[in-house]
């Protein structure tokens, strides 16, 4: 056994694995398995794993190594067991952005279409928001369900909105925390293994990936975003999970609201058929792909019709109410946005000059939300659910001087002043606008389709 024996011997063996990877060689599947098992059992120190992660960052992984690492991470924990079912299970994953609240709409919509949606999401990361933080702005809402509780809820009402439980891919949880502090997050194979080990543990039949590109995306470069999508599709398809990706724009915030409770309110408006156009277009496009990978729609038209029906009939909104109730939240938020946390200071921000809005820079907006207290600087920071922005200006809009373009929601005056400065930097008026297409490509196991 590679890693058996006393600490000193094991440390030496791990050092040879690091050395091989550092020199551009490959580790065998059995070596990945043993290494990840030993790391999860606290038998490999973080300093060695950090060195290996940095070697992977520079050298990459062969397809065989990536498959072995993903499987080892997946097998480091338990999987969701949805029992004997006649209904397909699907999920969606977004690589993250600012104002991206599509999960809050899609989970109840797809459950209302009759599918099982065991949706596992994350917290805000850097300037990007996280679905768990948004959900927790609903008074009482619990995202920390244990695995068996989540399974039971999905069987009962078709959906659970949860965080990574301690049972799911524990190796990923530890590796991700290490990557975060060792500058090894931005590695395509490590990102792909991390995301797919968790998604595959949900036991879903189909997965739709929303891979963002543009200045506010985790990977702003479209080529890297496409490679990440292709890598994740390869991992999913090889493990029996139909996986499709859409490449979508994150060179401006999605929708109007950015900030936790404000985004919940906008998602509810979307489920009431009153959402902003870009949010609804992307939600329908992702939802149609989810129905298609699940084999629950004949074609895209049929899928769009089904999605439209659950919004118009109120079935999706009812399902959101049921999910909130099941997870301990106050379902009154669905009918009364005043039941969500409210920021005490609201300020209108007006266009300082007339002209065409050329950019609304999402990174600047995301960082301003963090500064307002709506995101975390450190992992254990508490967040203020009420703060954020509602920005009505879109790239390409012609605006008059003094026209209201945004509302700031802040805890106090000094927060509102800093937020106004952030808007002055983020909203650029005057240069030509060249926003990215909202949905640029559809990627499947068969190739890349420009849209
Ligand atoms: N999200 C994840 O879950 N893992 C990564 O590596 C990056 C984003």
What pLDDT was estimated at residue 12? 56
Residue range 342-350: mean pLDDT, rounded: 98
**CATH number for position 39:** 1.20.970.10
pLDDT, tens digit (0-9, with 9 covering 90-100), for 280-321: 999 999 999 999 999 999 999 999 999 999 999 999 999 999
Beta sheet of 355-360, edge-to-edge order: 398-399, 355-360, 427-429
- Residue 179 is assigned to a structural domain of this protein: yes
**Does the active-site annotation cover 194?**
yes
Cα–Cα distance list, 275 to 16, 52, 199, 252 (Å): 55, 46, 28, 17
Same domain? For 354 and 222 the reply is no
d(CA 421, CA 80): 46
- Residue 78 is assigned to a structural domain of this protein: no
Same domain? For 31 and 135 the reply is no
Cα of 126 vs its chain's centroid, Å: 12
Going by their DSSP bridges, the two strands 388-391 and 242-249 should be labelled as unpaired
Residue 8 confidence (pLDDT) above 60 = no
Mutate to test the pocket of ligand 1, among 100, 126, 164, 191 (most ligand atoms within 8 A of CB): 191
Same domain? For 102 and 177 the reply is yes
Among 40-49, 76-85, 266-275, the range scoring the smallest mean pLDDT is 76-85
- Residue 130 is assigned to a structural domain of this protein: yes
Task: Give the largest Cα separation in the chain, rounded.
Answer: 73
Q: What is the CA radius of gyration of the chain?
A: 22
Domain count, the chain: 3
Phi, psi of 404, deg, nearest 5: -65, 125
Same domain? For 239 and 353 the reply is no
Report the percentage of the chain scoring pLDDT > 90: 88
Among 9-23, 46-60, 155-169, the range scoring the smallest mean pLDDT is 9-23
- Residue 260 is assigned to a structural domain of this protein: yes
Report the percentage of the chain scoring pLDDT > 70: 97
Same domain? For 193 and 232 the reply is yes
pLDDT, tens digit (0-9, with 9 covering 90-100), for 199-222: 999 999 999 999 999 999 988 999
What pLDDT was estimated at residue 255? 98
Mutate to test the pocket of ligand 1, among 176, 189, 224 (most ligand atoms within 8 A of CB): 176
pLDDT, tens digit (0-9, with 9 covering 90-100), for 356-411: 999 999 999 999 999 999 988 777 788 999 999 999 999 999 999 999 999 999 99
Same domain? For 446 and 351 the reply is no
Where does ligand 1 bind, in terms of residues with CB under 6 Å? 122, 176, 185, 190-191, 194-195
- Residue 40 is assigned to a structural domain of this protein: yes
Same domain? For 195 and 293 the reply is yes
Same domain? For 357 and 318 the reply is no
Question: What range defines the domain where residue 216 resides?
Answer: 90-336+438-450
- Residue 285 is assigned to a structural domain of this protein: yes
pLDDT, tens digit (0-9, with 9 covering 90-100), for 377-388: 777 788 999 999
Same domain? For 218 and 347 the reply is no
- Residue 275 is assigned to a structural domain of this protein: yes
Residue 253 confidence (pLDDT) above 90 = yes
What pLDDT was estimated at residue 125? 75
352 CA to centre of ligand 1 in angstroms = 38
Same domain? For 250 and 300 the reply is yes
pLDDT, tens digit (0-9, with 9 covering 90-100), for 72-122: 999 999 999 888 888 999 999 999 999 999 999 999 999 999 999 999 998
**CATH number for position 109:** 3.40.1030.10
299, 429 Cβ separation under 8 angstroms: no
- Residue 127 is assigned to a structural domain of this protein: yes
What pLDDT was estimated at residue 377? 76
Same domain? For 369 and 320 the reply is no
182 CA to centre of ligand 1 in angstroms = 14
299 CA to centre of ligand 1 in angstroms = 31
Same domain? For 399 and 327 the reply is no
């Amino acid at each position: 056994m590679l890693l058996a024996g006393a600490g000193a011997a094991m440390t030496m063996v791990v050092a040879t694995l690091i050395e091989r990877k550092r020199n551009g060689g490959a580790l065998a599947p059995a070596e990945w398995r043993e290494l990840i098992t030993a790391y999860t059992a606290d038998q490999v120190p973080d300093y060695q794993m950090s060195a290996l992660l940095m070697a992977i960052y520079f050298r990459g992984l062969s397809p065989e190594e990536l498959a072995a690492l993903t499987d080892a991470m997946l097998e480091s924990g338990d999987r969701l067991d949805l029992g004997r079912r006649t209904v397909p299970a699907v999920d969606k994953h977004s690589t993250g952005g600012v104002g991206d609240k599509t999960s809050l709409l899609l989970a109840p919509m797809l459950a209302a279409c009759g599918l099982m949606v065991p949706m596992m999401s994350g917290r805000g990361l850097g300037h990007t928001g996280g679905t768990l933080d948004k959900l927790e702005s609903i008074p009482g809402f619990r995202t920390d369900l244990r695995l068996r509780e989540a399974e039971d809820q999905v069987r009962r009402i078709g959906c659970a909105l949860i965080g990574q439980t301690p049972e799911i891919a524990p190796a990923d949880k530890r590796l991700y925390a290490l990557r975060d502090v060792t500058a090894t997050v931005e590695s395509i194979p490590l990102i792909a293994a991390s995301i797919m080990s968790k998604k595959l543990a949900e036991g879903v039949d189909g997965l739709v990936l929303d891979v963002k590109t543009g200045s506010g995306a985790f990977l702003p470069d479209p080529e890297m975003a496409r490679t990440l999508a292709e890598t994740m599709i390869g991992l999913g398809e090889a493990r029996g999970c139909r996986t499709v990706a859409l490449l979508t724009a994150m060179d401006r915030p999605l929708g109007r609201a950015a900030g936790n409770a404000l985004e919940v309110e906008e998602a509810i408006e979307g489920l009431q058929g009153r959402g902003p156009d870009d949010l609804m277009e992307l939600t329908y496009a992702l939802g149609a792909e989810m129905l298609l990978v699940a084999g629950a729609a004949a074609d895209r038209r049929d899928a769009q019709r089904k999605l439209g029906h659950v919004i118009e009939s109120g079935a999706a909104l009812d399902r959101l109410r049921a999910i909130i109730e099941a997870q301990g939240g106050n379902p009154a938020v669905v009918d009364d946005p005043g039941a969500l946390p409210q920021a005490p200071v609201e300020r209108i921000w007006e266009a300082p000059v007339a002209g065409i809005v050329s950019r609304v820079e999402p990174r600047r907006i995301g960082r301003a939300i963090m500064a307002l207290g709506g995101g975390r600087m450190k992992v254990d920071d508490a967040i203020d659910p009420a703060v954020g922005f509602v920005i009505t200006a879109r790239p390409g809009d012609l605006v008059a001087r003094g026209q209201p373009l945004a509302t700031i929601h802040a805890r106090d005056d000094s927060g509102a002043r800093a937020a106004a400065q952030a808007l002055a930097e983020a909203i650029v008026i005057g240069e030509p606008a060249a926003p990215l297409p909202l949905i640029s490509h559809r990627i499947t196991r068969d190739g890349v389709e420009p849209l």
